[in-house]
Amino acid sequence: MVQNPLWETSDNVYPNFVRVEDDLGPVGKGVSGARYVSAENGTEYLIKGPSLKLKSTGHPEHPHVAANELIAAGLARLLGLPTLDSRIVEMRGQLFFASVWMPAGTFYDPITAELFNGCANRDRTYGLVVFDAWLCNTDRHGGNLLVRRAGIPDNGGERLSLLLNDHSHCLVLPGKTVEALVARLDSGPQDYCFLPYVRGSIQVLRQLQAAIAAAEAVTRRDLETVVHSVPDPLMPAGDRDPIFQFLLDRQERLRRVISDGRAWFPNLEDGSL
Predicted confidence band at 153 (pLDDT cuts at 50, 70, 90)?
A: low
What three-state secondary structure class fits 224? helix
DSSP 150-204: ----TTS---EEEEE---TTSSSPTT--GGGGGGGTT--GGGT---HHHHHH---
CA angle 221-222-223, nearest 5°?
A: 90
Q: Give 32 or 209, the one with higher predicted confidence.
A: 209
Evaluate if residue 55 carries a pLDDT over 70.
no
Tell me the Ramachandran region of residue 173: left when phi exceeds 0, alpha when psi lies from -120 to 50, beta otherwise. beta
Evaluate if residue 59 carries a pLDDT over 80.
no
Q: What is the pLDDT of residues 218-250, one digit of tens each?
A: 999 999 999 998 998 999 879 999 999 999 999
Evaluate if residue 27 carries a pLDDT over 70.
yes
- Please tell me what DSSP assigns to residue 119: B
| pLDDT, mean of residues 54-83 | 84
* Residue 9: predicted pLDDT: 39
Quick one: CA dihedral 124, 186, 30, 20, positive or negative? negative
Predicted confidence band at 182 (pLDDT cuts at 50, 70, 90)?
A: very high
Residue 86 in contact with residue 99, Cβ under 8 Å? Answer: yes
* Residue 146: predicted pLDDT: 92
Cα 190 to its chain centre, rounded Å, is 18
| pLDDT, mean of residues 64-93 | 94
Q: Give 168 or 153, the one with higher predicted confidence.
A: 168
CA distance 168 to 174: 9
Predicted confidence band at 192 (pLDDT cuts at 50, 70, 90)?
A: very high
Q: Indicate the residue type of 30.
A: G
Q: Give 110 or 135, the one with higher predicted confidence.
A: 135
Q: pTM here?
A: 0.91
Q: Which regions of 58-182 does DSSP assign to beta strands (E)?
A: 86-91, 94-100, 107-108, 145-149, 160-164
DSSP 6-51: GG--BTTB-TTSEEEEEEEEE--SSSS--EEEEETTS-EEEEE-TT
